[in-house]
Structure formats: structure tokens, C-alpha cells
């Protein structure tokens, strides 16, 4: 069986949930990570950057994690670069040539960051660029993630697997997969 050829868009500093996905992909007999892609974005443009979270909210998160100490903690900060150190690295810069990526024969690019993905990246894969939106479908991308569900006393948070692609048509029921976390 041919393994799916995957490129990952990652940050050096990540969360535990991102590291878990990378670990699973590395150990899977169905996939191989063949490339690490870096999208240059400073912390001020990162959509869910800690620098954009108000002081009182940061304090709330610290107190909350002290009292409730979730295990496993999906938002525990971790470093994932050691997992991908043997992978070739492609840095996206202004005016870079995505055609160079065609040599990797990529099936999919998975964006594990909150950084925007250039839509041209989808042109060099069979199945496009996949990414998660952690959101209520009616109020997409209210950040920080999860806090609005807590404040509105909603029992669950919605995450949507989305994709960008060109040249390939998915059946309508594949346009987005919805997973509810309780």
C-alpha cells in the first residue's frame, strides 16, 4: 500500500494537540511526512497569539489550569521542531516559487498553525491544504478559542476540518467534517 505523502506547516512553539498529531502521523503505517513548511509570520500577526490575549484573560487561563489541571492538557506549550528535524524545510517568503514543491509529489499539506496559508500551495498537492477551525459555525473564528463557549455556557466547542484546493472536486458531504468536543 502506498503511503500518503504529507507536508506539515508548523511553528517551533506549538501546543500538545499539534505534537500529538505529528506523533500519530510519524508512527502511522499509512502516511509519511516528507516536508516541513514554514510560513513566516511574526507573533503579532498570528491569529491566536498569546500577545493578542488580554491580560485578564491570560490570568483567568493560569488560574483555571492551576485549579483544574486537565490531563492531558491539549494547550500545554511544547516544541515540535525536534520531531521534524530530519525533514527538509521549505520556507515561504515573498515571491517564492511553489513549483519547487512538485518534486515532493505531495498528497496533502496539513496546516497545524493559525497562520494564513497561501492558496497557491494547494496547486502542488493532490488533495489541497487542510486546516482546522476551532469555532462555532455561526460565529467563525472568535478568539481566543473556547472562551466564548464557556462564557455563553455552551456544552461543546465545534472544530471544523476545512480545506483549500484547486482542480479537484470533493463530494458535497466532504466539504467540511464537524467534530464536537464535549
Q: Residue 106: its pLDDT value, please?
A: 95
Determine the Cα–Cα distance for residues 113 and 175; give it in Å rounded to an integer. Answer: 20
For 11-25, 48-62, 69-83, which range has the lowest pLDDT when averaged over its residues?
48-62
Q: What Rg do the C-alpha atoms of the chain give, in angstroms?
A: 17
pLDDT at 29 over 90: yes
Between CA 50 and CA 69 the distance in angstroms is 19
pLDDT of residue 54: 75
pLDDT tens for each residue of 63-111: 887 888 877 877 788 888 788 888 999 988 888 889 899 999 999 999 9
Residue 44 has pLDDT above 70, yes or no: no
Amino acid at each position: 500500500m502506498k503511503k500518503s505523502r504529507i507536508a506539515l506547516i508548523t511553528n517551533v512553539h506549538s501546543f500538545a494537540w499539534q505534537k500529538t498529531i505529528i506523533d500519530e502521523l510519524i508512527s502511522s503505517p499509512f502516511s509519511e511526512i516528507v516536508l516541513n513548511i514554514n510560513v513566516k509570520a511574526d507573533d503579532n500577526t498570528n491569529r491566536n497569539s498569546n500577545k493578542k490575549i488580554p491580560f485578564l484573560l491570560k490570568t483567568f487561563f493560569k488560574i483555571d489550569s492551576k485549579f483544574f489541571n486537565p490531563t492531558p492538557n491539549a494547550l500545554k506549550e511544547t516544541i515540535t521542531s525536534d520531531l521534524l528535524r530530519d525533514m527538509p524545510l521549505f520556507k515561504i517568503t515573498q515571491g517564492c516559487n511553489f513549483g519547487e514543491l512538485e518534486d515532493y509529489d505531495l498528497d496533502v499539506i496539513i496546516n497545524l498553525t493559525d497562520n494564513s496559508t497561501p492558496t497557491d500551495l494547494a496547486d502542488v498537492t493532490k488533495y489541497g491544504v487542510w486546516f482546522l477551525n476551532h469555532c462555532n459555525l455561526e460565529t467563525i473564528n472568535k478568539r481566543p478559542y473556547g472562551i466564548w463557549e464557556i462564557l455563553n455556557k455552551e456544552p461543546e466547542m465545534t472544530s471544523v476540518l476545512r480545506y483549500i484546493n484547486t482542480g479537484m472536486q470533493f463530494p458535497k458531504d466532504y466539504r467540511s467534517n464537524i467534530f464536537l468536543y464535549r
